Amino acid sequence: MASPSPISKQQSVSNVGNRKRRNTYDAAHSSPPTKRIKSISVARITSNFPPQFWDNLSKVWLTPRALREKDRRNDIQPPAINPAIVRATPTSLSRFARRGGPDLRHLRGYPEPKHAASMSSNRSSNRRTLSTKAISIFSRAKRSSAYDKDFEQNLIDHNIYPEGFKHTDGRTTPEPNNLDSIVESLAYPRASLSPSQFSISAFKSFRAANSQVVSKGKVMADILPTIRGNSEILNEGNLPFANLKSITNGTTVDAVPNWYDGSYTKEISKTVRQGPTSHAQAPVVPNFFIEAKAPRGGADVAKRQACLDGAVGARAMHSLQNYGEDVPVCDGNAYTFSSTYHAGTGTLQLYAHHATGPTAEEEQPEYHMTQIDSWGMTGNVDTFRRGATAFRNARDLARQQRETFIKAANARVSQEAAPVEKMEQTYKKLMLLPLTERLFTNTWSRLRIPRTTAKLAARDTVKSFSSGKFPSSCCRSTSRIPFSVCQSSSVSHVAKLSYAISLAGLANRAEASLEVRAGTGRVGSSGKANEGHGENESSLHFV
């Protein structure tokens, strides 16, 4: 990627300084533009993708950002070291030239040294006006989209494939297994778009408004509401998905959909919940996205944004679908949708996104983007009705699938928590029974625990459980039952062991079974240690 580098910023400033000494007009007008140029140069360097983004690309496309990275790397290369001067005679030089001269292959692509560029600059270059130099730097620093071909290549390298992608081995992007069912669901007629509810005059008003928009904000505010209609589906927009693990290993920008549908946080169990953003009230489990563009916006950019949005949504739905499963399974169905709208052409696109299993070990699943259909929304009222119908039905379908997975995940959490809650209630009931200090002191002599320590353990434990508190610290058992011997910091570990043994005897009296992992041997309720399996079912197992 090496080539002669442009004139450096330091040289530009020095040339401006030379002109300031020659021309009073330049001296009066040079300072403000110089500061502006410097700020733009700094912004140009800091706003690009990180170096690892470019280092890991399987193919680098010729884009403004790639050229920007090339210039950055050329600027930081060390200066050339001048070799020592060797005296040579005319005879030796002639012989050296006849044999081909020096080997200059190592100089291929090497940038011109900065000091050489300053020495070669002549008076005419120094007389260039400041406005000319400012224009060249401004044009070089022209804002470029982050969603270019290199961004798309980065998605592909992370197993996120855009619509119509063909693999090098001849594979094509697979369609979701439920595509026919999706198409059928999207075709259901809607009363809100019938001729009596959405007239030809309403369509003409929509088309006139679309022809007047200039910015993306107007598209979101004036155009899309007519397409999506009135709905109570929870939605949000323009929030970076920075609270999730990056699907591209942090090498590119986070997904920032213009609009997305999700569910209320309170609908999902805390064990399952993970919001996409840092906003507590923002919708979670997003699986419907919208990317809009103004007339001057790029349709290809919107498609790449939708590809990233859909992959994030498909991953969320796949994780929710497989919650609690030891081995995640991909069923090949699409549960996530995205849509793009370009105001310049009045075109509405609708896509489905689904996940398939990884093709190699230690790789993430593959995420595929499939186009469902496309509509020219400003063509005629019938086409508008078909497009708006599919759009609204897709939002409803996404909500149904989202709610189905949420209910299933919450049910799994309840099933896992039920045994734990039941045992906690049992322990609390046991502790409310008359627990005397004798239960603790019965084993103090065998374990050589001070009698006062055993009494203190009994008092603290009864006080803790009588107040309705369940100790936060726990020992792990095979059933993951939270359990603690005592909260008092003054009680030794041996005293806690005494309490556990006594509690086993109490549980035995109440015809309950108690098993706690805490050591290597096994200690029965009588306080005797044995290595084999004890006859008492309430024996304590120590790991």
Q: pLDDT confidence of 56, banded at 50, 70, 90?
A: confident
Structure confidence at residue 134 (pLDDT): 40
Q: What is the C-alpha to C-alpha distance for residues 338 and 286, in angstroms, rounded to an integer?
A: 10
- Over range 202-228, report the average pLDDT: 95
Q: What is the C-alpha to C-alpha distance for residues 3 and 62, in angstroms, rounded to an integer?
A: 14
Residue 444 has pLDDT above 90, yes or no: no
Higher pLDDT, 486 or 174: 174
Residue 176 has pLDDT above 90, yes or no: yes
Q: pLDDT confidence of 24, banded at 50, 70, 90?
A: very low
Structure confidence at residue 244 (pLDDT): 84
Residue 333 has pLDDT above 90, yes or no: yes
Strand order from edge to edge, sheet including 366-376:
160-161, 366-376, 347-356, 334-342, 284-293, 259-263, 235-236
Higher pLDDT, 224 or 6: 224
What would the pLDDT profile of 147-173 be if each residue is shown by its tens digit?
A: 888 899 999 999 999 998 988 888 888
DSSP 386-420: HHHHHHHHHHHHHHHHHHHHHHHHHHHHHHHHHHH
Report domain extents, the chain.
Answer: 9-78+88-144, 154-413, 433-541
Q: Is 162 helix (H, G, I), strand (E, B) or coil?
A: coil
- Over range 327-342, report the average pLDDT: 94
- Over range 39-54, report the average pLDDT: 57
Q: What is the average pLDDT value for the chain, to the nearest integer?
A: 72
Q: Please count the residues of the chain.
A: 543
Q: What is the C-alpha to C-alpha distance for residues 459 and 331, in angstroms, rounded to an integer?
A: 56
Q: pLDDT confidence of 448, banded at 50, 70, 90?
A: low
CA-derived radius of gyration, the chain: 36
Structure confidence at residue 406 (pLDDT): 92
Residue 38 has pLDDT above 90, yes or no: no
Q: Do 294 and 344 contact (CB within 8 A), yes or no?
A: yes
Question: The pTM is what?
Answer: 0.58
Residue 528 has pLDDT above 70, yes or no: no
What would the pLDDT profile of 61-91 be if each residue is shown by its tens digit?
A: 778 777 888 888 887 876 666 656 656 667 7
For Cα atoms 521, 444, 489, give the angle at the middle one, nearest 5 degrees: 85
Q: pLDDT confidence of 368, banded at 50, 70, 90?
A: very high
Structure confidence at residue 472 (pLDDT): 40
Long-range own/partner contacts, residues 477-480 (CB < 8 A, 24 or more apart): 477/515, 477/516, 477/517, 478/515, 478/517, 479/419, 479/420, 479/423, 479/515, 480/420
Structure confidence at residue 535 (pLDDT): 36
Structure confidence at residue 422 (pLDDT): 58
Structure confidence at residue 449 (pLDDT): 58
* Beta-carbon contacts of residue 389 (< 8 Å; ≥ 6 apart): 186, 187, 188, 189, 190, 193
Higher pLDDT, 524 or 32: 32
Structure confidence at residue 83 (pLDDT): 58
- Over range 435-451, report the average pLDDT: 53
